[in-house]
Structure 1
Amino acid sequence: MTDSSTAPAPTSMPPMTSAPVHVRRDAFDPVPELTELRERSPVSKIRTTWGSEAWLVTRYDLIREALGDATRFANNSRHAVDLPPFARQNADGMLLSYDPPEHTSLRRLLTPEFTVRRIRRLQPRIEAIVEEHLDAMEQAGPPVDLVRAFALPIPSLVICELLGVPYEDRDDFQRLSNLRLDLSLALEERVAATQESLAYMAKLVERQRADPGEDMIGMLIREHADKITNAELVGVADLLLLAGHETTSNMLGLGTLKLLQHPDQRALAESDEHIEAAVEELLRYMSITHTIAPRWATGDTELGGERIAKGDLVIFSIPAGNRDPAIGENLEALDIGRKTAPHLAFGHGVHHCLGAPLARMEMRVAFPALLRRFPNLRPAIPVDEVEFRAFSVVYGLSSLPVTW
């Protein structure tokens, strides 16, 4: 349990008007300044949006080194010297705030639900959900907003069914998700949205304690009632709901737009033979999460030749790491046939994304089904008019009008 629950409430912080370097993008690409940092100073001090300093790690091998060492670099903010505003909320029960051995124990309870074998059981239902939304698109006729009609509702419905969240509540939790991830908003507004989301989940968990369902939360209560607290159930469910629809939906929107611009890559993504490689290359290329959960140095240490003091905050640039020339050639281009080292889109180490098998399954089903159903699919507006979510924690598209 983190001691951040006793920290004072966050002080006022104005909305962000200029994104820090690791959040900036130029359409699909990280800005050149980020590439320069990786080549010139792969572990460098940056000024955060709340005014304090942090170390930004941009080189692939150094990111893996730090993420793979939970002893030197911890998730729990109790190690922080200067507690940032985002860590001042009550993190009790939050999986991403846990370190081993507490993290190990909680994750062990969750892992069986996300094994490849268990996720394969969901494939028929995922296929049915995808087909239902393609039918609705076809019936509505062009133009349609691919984000609203396809990319967002499919992962939302899947994660709702998995967790036992009423799908009729999706508009509300999607609204709250957008507020929580929007870095252009004042901190108070984002904190309020987080608290509202957690309160919603707390009520859901209470109902499940009284009458466990057949979904994941119900299963955890039936099989591990005495090993998992309500706070942990709330934290896990909230994380999975937030990440489970935001990340995959943005991958589907961004990935489709990129594939529509490159017919040769699109052809590969349509084929059963190449879809697995296509998903992995899209994950690497897009790197929709600018940075994963930050770490704090548990003691004085060294990384990439820089001395990092105990309590220092360390941030990791996933786009920079995934385009590091050390892992492959010509990484600025999308190339489904390439061979690279494992990408960092799902993180690395003990906090490697729990829902990665589910996200991969959804994309392996959705991309080919969409592209095959609409062979003439294309943007309905000039590509340079497509609106990207520039200030979001999870990068993506605000909308994507398409026709066929």
Structure 2
Amino acid sequence: MSHDPTAADTTAAELPTLPTDRRTGCPFDPPAELTALSDRPVRRMRYADGHIGWLVTGHAAARAILADPRFSSRYELLHLPVPMEGVSGELPPAPVGDIIGLDAPEHTRYRRLLTGRFTVRRMRQLTERVERFTTECLDSMEQAGPTADLVTAFAQPVPALMICELLGVPYADRERFQTEVATLFDQTADAKAKGGAYMALLQYLNELVLAKRADPTDDLLSDLTTSDLTDEELAGIGGLLLAAGLDTTANMLALGTFALLSNPGQLEALRADPALAGQTVEELLRYLSVADPLPRAALEDVEVDGRLIRAGETVTVSVQAVNRDPRKFPDPDRLDIRRKAAGHLAFGHGAHQCLGQQLARVEMTVAIPALFARFPTLRLAVPPREVPLRDRSNIYGVISLPVTWDKE
């Protein structure tokens, strides 16, 4: 095992914490301090509560850890890399239905039930509905234009409508559902408003599960009522799909649009060759890495990249650093839609790899080219530096994205 100088030669107070300040001059780049730490793939790090754990910035080490069952995702075993609003002390165990915070065998049971309902083939069957919802949003934008906040007019409604479709939310309830969702993910809303929206959505999901039991329709929740899952588990899974599937995709759509508008050569290449849409999405996922970081807890002593990680220590995989690892992706700080970005870890890796990744890919591959095809003169309505960023959330993105276009 190689010597780790940070383990013995550095006091706890001198160890780095997880860098979060993105003021690098480019809204799409990781924090400059994080980039500076990326020379060593696995290094010691000080956590918010004083715990001395690890930071992983190397692609190979990250893949090894995320695929290794000796590293746990259970919330109650983890130390938070940065303080979280409303959380002090130890994290509580995962609520019912939240498979992200579970290990095998509980995680395996849920995952097995859900995997068959999120296949590539099944998600591609939803393409026609994604196209319809995208067209509806673009029609509304055009009628209200020639200016819009792309977040509320486009980036949030498209995945919200798809979650409604997936869960089988009746059309009559969709406006109410979307209103509560918008409040829940509104970065400017206060804690009381968000709490009220969360409770309203939870209550609605419980009611929806009972409705599907009584009168099943062609949707995911109805499918799952034939399993051995309880009503509480079904509602919990519905909440997880909502939280995991909406905010990430919405921010990828908005931030991805911002990135392409800021890289006109890349946008022109996409417009010239729509067949690049799939590659563009993969490169945007790598380049932006909006869902970050991924913490794990060692269940036993494990050696990774020559470092001995002890049982009980938390390891934080920095997805944004890993996806900019030059050992995996040459010239990683450049957006290049012709790059073969396969192997990025934007959706995680291993047993907890994102279940809804294929749906997210379908949504982005349809929505982004459609937006630029409908509005060929689309551009920012404010200087890039004035676009407000979501830099205090574990899902990075923009709070709003003012855009404009020329009316014909």
- For Structure 1 versus Structure 2, the TM-score category normalised by the shorter chain is 0.7 to 0.9
Q: Secondary structure at the match of 2:38?
A: helix
Q: Deviations over 1:146-200 (max 9, x none)?
A: 1111111111111111112332221112322347xx9x988x9988876665444
Please tell me the residue identity of whatever aligns with 1:38: S
Aligned counterpart for 1:151 among listed residues 155, 177, 187: 155
Q: TM-score, normalised by structure 1?
A: 0.85
Q: CA deviation at 1:401?
A: 0.9
Q: TM-score, normalised by structure 2?
A: 0.85
Alpha carbons 1:130, 1:154 under 8 Å: kept: yes
Please tell me the residue identity of whatever aligns with 1:285: Y
Distance 2:145 2:370 in 1: 17
Q: Which residue of 2 aligns with 1:171?
A: 179
Q: CA deviation at 1:315?
A: 1.7
Q: CA deviation at 1:217?
A: 0.5
Q: Secondary structure at the match of 2:332?
A: coil
Distance 1:86 1:274 in 2: 46
Aligned counterpart for 1:107 among listed residues 98, 104, 111: 111
- Return closer, same or farther for 1:202/1:285 CA change in 2, 3 Å cut-off: same
- Return closer, same or farther for 1:317/1:370 CA change in 2, 3 Å cut-off: same
Q: Secondary structure at the match of 1:302?
A: strand
Superposed CA RMSD in Å reads 2.7
Name stretches of at least 5 consecutive residues in structure 2 with no aligned partner. Answer: 1-16, 81-86
Distance 1:90 1:193 in 2: 20
- Return closer, same or farther for 1:31/1:396 CA change in 2, 3 Å cut-off: same
Q: Secondary structure at the match of 2:179?
A: helix
Distance 2:77 2:18 in 1: 25
- Return closer, same or farther for 1:312/1:204 CA change in 2, 3 Å cut-off: farther
Q: Deviations over 1:8-63 (max 9, x none)?
A: xxxxxxxxxxxx63443231111111112221463322222x55444221111111
* Equivalent residue runs for 1:323-362 within 5 Å: 323-362=324-363
Q: Which residue of 1 aligns with 2:13?
A: none
Q: Which residue of 2 aligns with 1:284?
A: 286
* Equivalent residue runs for 1:180-191 within 5 Å: none
Alpha carbons 1:67, 1:73 under 8 Å: kept: yes
- Return closer, same or farther for 1:190/1:55 CA change in 2, 3 Å cut-off: farther
* Equivalent residue runs for 1:69-218 within 5 Å: 69-70=68-69, 72-77=70-75, 79=77, 85=89, 87-88=91-92, 91-165=95-169, 166-168=173-175, 169-178=177-186, 197-218=201-222
Q: CA deviation at 1:129?
A: 0.8
Structure 1 residue 373 corresponds to structure 2 residue 374: yes
Q: CA deviation at 1:138?
A: 1.1
Structure 1 residue 395 corresponds to structure 2 residue 370: no
Q: Secondary structure at the match of 1:325?
A: coil
- Return closer, same or farther for 1:268/1:385 CA change in 2, 3 Å cut-off: same
Q: Secondary structure at the match of 2:291?
A: coil
Please tell me the residue identity of whatever aligns with 2:314: L
Q: Secondary structure at the match of 1:392?
A: coil
Q: Secondary structure at the match of 1:69?
A: coil
Q: Which residue of 1 aligns with 2:47?
A: 47
Please tell me the residue identity of whatever aligns with 1:243: A
- Return closer, same or farther for 1:390/1:78 CA change in 2, 3 Å cut-off: closer
Q: CA deviation at 1:236?
A: 1.6
Distance 1:395 1:85 in 2: 25
Alpha carbons 1:81, 1:311 under 8 Å: kept: no
Q: Which residue of 2 aligns with 1:10?
A: none
Q: CA deviation at 1:308?
A: 2.3
Distance 1:334 1:358 in 2: 23
* Equivalent residue runs for 1:13-52 within 5 Å: 21-26=18-23, 27-40=27-40, 42-48=42-48, 50-52=49-51
Q: Secondary structure at the match of 2:316?
A: strand
Q: Secondary structure at the match of 2:44?
A: strand
Q: Percent identity?
A: 45
Q: CA deviation at 1:203?
A: 3.2
- Return closer, same or farther for 1:81/1:158 CA change in 2, 3 Å cut-off: closer
Q: How many residue pairs align between the two structures?
A: 376
- Return closer, same or farther for 1:234/1:52 CA change in 2, 3 Å cut-off: farther
Please tell me the residue identity of whatever aligns with 1:202: N
Q: CA deviation at 1:123?
A: 0.9
Q: Secondary structure at the match of 1:87?
A: coil
Q: CA deviation at 1:273?
A: 1.4
Please tell me the residue identity of whatever aligns with 2:278: E
Q: CA deviation at 1:329?
A: 1.2
- Return closer, same or farther for 1:318/1:189 CA change in 2, 3 Å cut-off: farther
Alpha carbons 2:291, 2:396 under 8 Å: kept: yes
Distance 1:67 1:103 in 2: 15
- Return closer, same or farther for 1:263/1:81 CA change in 2, 3 Å cut-off: closer
- Return closer, same or farther for 1:39/1:391 CA change in 2, 3 Å cut-off: same
Alpha carbons 2:74, 2:93 under 8 Å: kept: no
Distance 1:41 1:262 in 2: 29
Alpha carbons 1:58, 1:320 under 8 Å: kept: yes
Q: CA deviation at 1:384?
A: 0.9
- Return closer, same or farther for 1:140/1:121 CA change in 2, 3 Å cut-off: same
Name stretches of at least 5 consecutive residues in structure 1 with no aligned partner. Answer: 1-19
Distance 2:209 2:306 in 1: 47
Q: CA deviation at 1:303?
A: 2.5
